[in-house]
Structure 1
Amino acid sequence: MEINDLTPAEQRLWRAFATGTAVDLRDTGADERAIRARVLRALLLNGPHEPGEIAAMKIAGARITGPLDLRYATVESVVRLSHCRFDEVPDLSGSQLKYLNLTGSRLPGLASARVRVDGGMRLTSCLFRGPVRLGGAQIAGALYLEDAEITAPAGTEDPVLQLHQANVGEDLCASRLRTRGEIRLDGARVSGSLRLEEAELSNPGGRAFHSEALEVGANVMCRRLSAHGRIILRGARIPGLLDLLYCRLSNPGGTAMQASSCVIGEVWLRKGPPIEGMLNLRRTQIEHLNLEPEMLPDHVRILDLTYTSLTPHVPPEQRLPMLERDGDTFDPHSYEQLTAAYRRSGDDRAARLVQLAKQRRHRSTLSWYGRLWGHVQDAAVGYGFRPLRAFGWLLGLLAVGSVAYALDPPPPLKPAEAPDFNPVFFTLDLLVPVISFGQEAAYAPEGWSQWLSYVLVLAGWILATTILAGVTRTVSRQ
């Protein structure tokens, strides 16, 4: 391209390129800002160079006309097109760049699948009116999307931000990102942290954030995130913190958040409004779970969820509803996890209450006779977790029997050989099956007192059996 073919704005850019001088067109008239995309392409691929200078394209406030086609090109210079307006979608697919900065620009979209950037890629405060395609991108530095807005025309089914199989060498910074459509990060790898603080992700009834098998080297920071649509983190690997403080997660009638089969170091889910939609944490491993019961929705899936510690420390009555919202399936593992968490904190009473709730939940899955026997054990000794209750029953039955037999003593079998009658020890002989005080064998109740003796003997055996079952359960548990 001959220099004489260039407009005044293009001539300024052409002369500045060789030395990397910045060109700012924001103070010029609208007609003086236009730069043809083919001029940018010619500069980036075959632009002039001066000895001892580093060529770079630095321009602000330009209007880029025509398609910028850099497919599979190798660009050796820095590219900074800030606060520019693109009439057509730039195509950087398969290209190799040193550094790309589009801060504050307005674009109808961005085609950059499999792009390679040796440094960082800055899309801060950009306004995209079409999909941003970065699938398979290899970015050695950080990817910046802070304060960016990405939407797509009505009827577009593709994700508005495509980062599947992308590899980011440092952080992926997307604080205050606003999207209207799906974000896809399937198989993406971020060596640093993924930052989505105060982001607004909206795709009602669909997937707002889809990231299966995401790998993050540090943390996923989502404090004050607002998401309308489904968030999928299935199979994610996050060794650090998943921060969901002050978040608003909403997908009524569907799954608000699916973080199943994940391995996460720490999860904070607190101080936000109740989640609207289902929360799925099945088969996930979490080292520390910081979960506020008030944020849990009506439907929770926690089958095979594993965690080492659980905070904040609240009474088990506030934690148990979480275990009962996982459908109609009885999952003993969930109760064992909660029990272990309370024991690690030193709260044995809370651990016993969780175990008692586990037995009661298990009872509902048994046949009628199993449920009947369960009710007996529960009423007698609380399945062994309330052993003092058995002594209360024994004292009550002892008092009833002692008063009854004192008012109507049974006749002796052999008056000459029978010991003096004692209503208290006679009742104890009936109640305690393994101890004999010589009263039961010497006296034979008649009439209603005989039926009372049958009741006391049967009650004694039931209490003895339930106490033994409770002691055995306690010993095996320890």
Structure 2
Amino acid sequence: MLSYDELTSPERELWDAFPEGRHVDLRTSVPEDVRVAGGGQWGTERSVRAAVIVALLLGANTTQPGAVPCLRIAGARISGRLKLAGAQITHALWLEDCWFEESVDLLGATLHTLVVTRSRVPGIEADAARIEGNLDLRSTVVEAGASSPFNHENTALSLSDAHVAGGVLLNGAEFNAPGGWAVSAGGLVMEGGFFCKRGFVARGEVRFVGAQLRGGLFMQGAHLAVPGRHGVALALDNAAVSTLELSDGFTANGTIRLRRTQIWDNLSFEGAVLNGPPNGDSPALAAPLMQAVDFRLTPARTPSGPLDLRGAQVSYLHENRYSWPDVVKLDGFGYGSIKVAEAGEAQDAARYEKSVADRVAWLRRSPGYSPQPYEQLASWYRSIGHDDDARRVLLAKQRHRRRGLSLPARAWGHLLDATVGYGYRPWLAGVWLLMLTLLGTLAFGSDSPSAVKPGEGAPFQPLVYTLDLLIPISGLGQRTAWYWTDGSLQWLAYLLIAFGWVLTTAVIAGLTRTLQKN
């Protein structure tokens, strides 16, 4: 048990100030001496033992009537380990410009508000902690160093299964855990917002697996970097987030993983830089089965790695000229509408100069063949009243599918394509019929046939005779009444009969195909 007599001068000052919540400032007027990076050189005149802070927070000093106790200190070197695991702390803790010798242990603790700003801490463990107010680590450097007892995971900040009733403020903070976890917050439950905005840097993976971030995650301008060729910069697998802002200069050198993530409102990559892992094969964004309402995929430049959106579902998809890299996995990706942002302005995609061919080329960036991306795009075109464009997309689907068929099936596909456009261009059959009719009429009109039964039947009509040959079910009476002694014209008659059957079969097959799903 600590006694007042054994306290040093700065510790006594803190001890006396605590009951009234007064601020203790140990900083000097020398600028070089204020810098936290050199805190290891500070002498005893600026040192406070962690045990003294623990004792005060656990009620060592009697509370004065009419005052609210609060521990507020600036410019101190905290010696020893701040051990508050399992503690019930009712007082706020404010530390500013402080240098910690060892890590902070808040495992399973319950506290009101923790503020550690512009400081240096070798690791913070707050697994299963309950914070009734805010956790404020703005402009603080947190490192997973050798002094951390939980360094077996190489974690700088650990908030796994914690509950924060207020917000988490990490703006301008720096978390260093190369090869490990810069922030580990799996199972975290947040009532307020989680802010990692301007100046936030994480060297190591940032994990929110299974977290519930009801107030949203805001990482505008943040910089995430992980070493290795297959690193994950940010993981929110199976998390539920109200808003996810990875925008305004947000940079990730590693994979952004949103597998099965539920985003109740906005997911924004507006102005972001998605570099992806350096191997180039791992995705820059892996979001299979992700759900979001508003998906703003409008980065500052084209992602350097593939995008995996298989099974993802969004209501509104915003894109720009930098949205799509060379490889995009789109099987199962669903969207209600597409809007295009250009020069900072959003405009309806129907007015954008992006042709159907461009969008089909986008679908072709997905490896292999899958009908769903084509059907999804066609559905969107129909929803905005562009039925012709929808048919063009479905025709491109059949042409893509044809490349994986056997040789006979490909030949039949080419025939369907040339004659009726797989049923999506039935007017092609009319063009063929007109051309063949004109050919037959001119050819058969140049000579006279012989009657099968002289003196009987209708007189010979080249046009009607040609139509009688082309229509498989003859009912015009010309084909059976006349024959040709000229061999070339007789062979032409046989060819027209064959073309008639082919055209009829192709029309039936093509129109039937349009009514079926492939």
Is 1:178 aligned to 2:201, yes or no?
yes
SS in 2 for 1:282: coil
Where do 1:75-474 residues align within 5 Å? 75-130=89-144, 131-152=156-177, 157-176=179-198, 177-204=200-227, 205=229, 206-216=231-241, 218-223=242-247, 224-251=249-276, 252-292=280-320, 294-312=322-340, 313=349, 314-328=354-368, 330-434=369-473, 436-445=475-484, 446-474=486-514
CA RMSD of aligned residues (A): 1.9
Q: Deviations over 1:407-443 (max 9, x none)?
A: 2333222332253332222212212224543322221
Q: Deviations over 1:367-402 (max 9, x none)?
A: 222221111111011112112222211121122222
SS in 2 for 1:255: coil
Distance 2:264 2:448 in 1: 75
Contact 2:166 2:191 in 1 (8 A): yes
Distance 1:199 1:22 in 2: 32
Distance 1:60 1:390 in 2: 85
Distance 1:128 1:396 in 2: 79
Identity of aligned residues (%): 36
Distance 2:289 2:455 in 1: 79
Distance 1:408 1:367 in 2: 44
* Structure 1 residue 325, shift from structure 2 partner: 2.8
Is 1:34 aligned to 2:47, yes or no?
yes
Distance 2:516 2:63 in 1: 81
Contact 2:303 2:322 in 1 (8 A): no
* Structure 1 residue 78, shift from structure 2 partner: 0.5
Distance 2:396 2:453 in 1: 52
Distance 2:516 2:289 in 1: 31
SS in 1 for 2:84: coil
User: What is the TM-score with the length of structure 1 in the denominator?
Assistant: 0.94
Gap change, CA 1:423 and 1:145, over 3 Å in 2: same
**Aligned match of 1:72:** 86
State the AA in 1 paired with 2:401: H
Segment of structure 1 superposing worse, 287-296 or 172-181: 287-296
Distance 1:63 1:210 in 2: 34
Distance 1:179 1:438 in 2: 85
* Structure 1 residue 318, shift from structure 2 partner: 1.9
Contact 1:63 1:84 in 2 (8 A): yes
Contact 1:160 1:180 in 2 (8 A): yes
* Structure 1 residue 157, shift from structure 2 partner: 3.8
Where do 1:52-71 residues align within 5 Å? 52-71=66-85
Contact 1:409 1:423 in 2 (8 A): no
* Structure 1 residue 198, shift from structure 2 partner: 1.2
Q: Deviations over 1:117-154 (max 9, x none)?
A: 111111111112221122121111111111111113xx
Distance 1:311 1:420 in 2: 64
Distance 1:346 1:9 in 2: 75
Distance 1:192 1:133 in 2: 19
**Aligned match of 2:65:** 51
Contact 2:270 2:298 in 1 (8 A): yes
SS in 2 for 1:102: strand
Q: Deviations over 1:211-267 (max 9, x none)?
A: 211111x21111132111111111111111111112211222212111112222221
* Structure 1 residue 294, shift from structure 2 partner: 4.1
* Structure 1 residue 464, shift from structure 2 partner: 1.9
SS in 1 for 2:71: strand
Contact 1:187 1:211 in 2 (8 A): yes
* Structure 1 residue 473, shift from structure 2 partner: 4.4
Count, aligned residues: 472
* Structure 1 residue 293, shift from structure 2 partner: 6.1
Q: Deviations over 1:99-125 (max 9, x none)?
A: 100121111221222221111111111
Contact 1:315 1:350 in 2 (8 A): no
Structure 2 segments unaligned to the other structure (5+ residues) = 34-41, 145-155, 341-348
Distance 2:440 2:321 in 1: 48
Q: Deviations over 1:332-357 (max 9, x none)?
A: 22221111111111111111111111
Distance 1:180 1:455 in 2: 74
Distance 1:315 1:429 in 2: 42
Contact 2:465 2:479 in 1 (8 A): yes
Contact 2:273 2:299 in 1 (8 A): no
Q: Deviations over 1:12-41 (max 9, x none)?
A: 211211101112222356533222212211
* Structure 1 residue 271, shift from structure 2 partner: 4.3
Contact 2:275 2:284 in 1 (8 A): yes
State the AA in 2 paired with 1:219: T
* Structure 1 residue 476, shift from structure 2 partner: 6.6
Contact 1:293 1:319 in 2 (8 A): no
Q: Deviations over 1:418-476 (max 9, x none)?
A: 53332222212212224543322221123111111111111112222222334444567
* Structure 1 residue 285, shift from structure 2 partner: 2.1
Distance 1:245 1:38 in 2: 47
Contact 2:202 2:225 in 1 (8 A): yes
Distance 1:294 1:14 in 2: 58
Segment of structure 1 superposing worse, 229-238 or 395-404: 395-404
Distance 2:299 2:54 in 1: 50
SS in 1 for 2:509: helix
Segment of structure 1 superposing worse, 157-166 or 304-313: 304-313
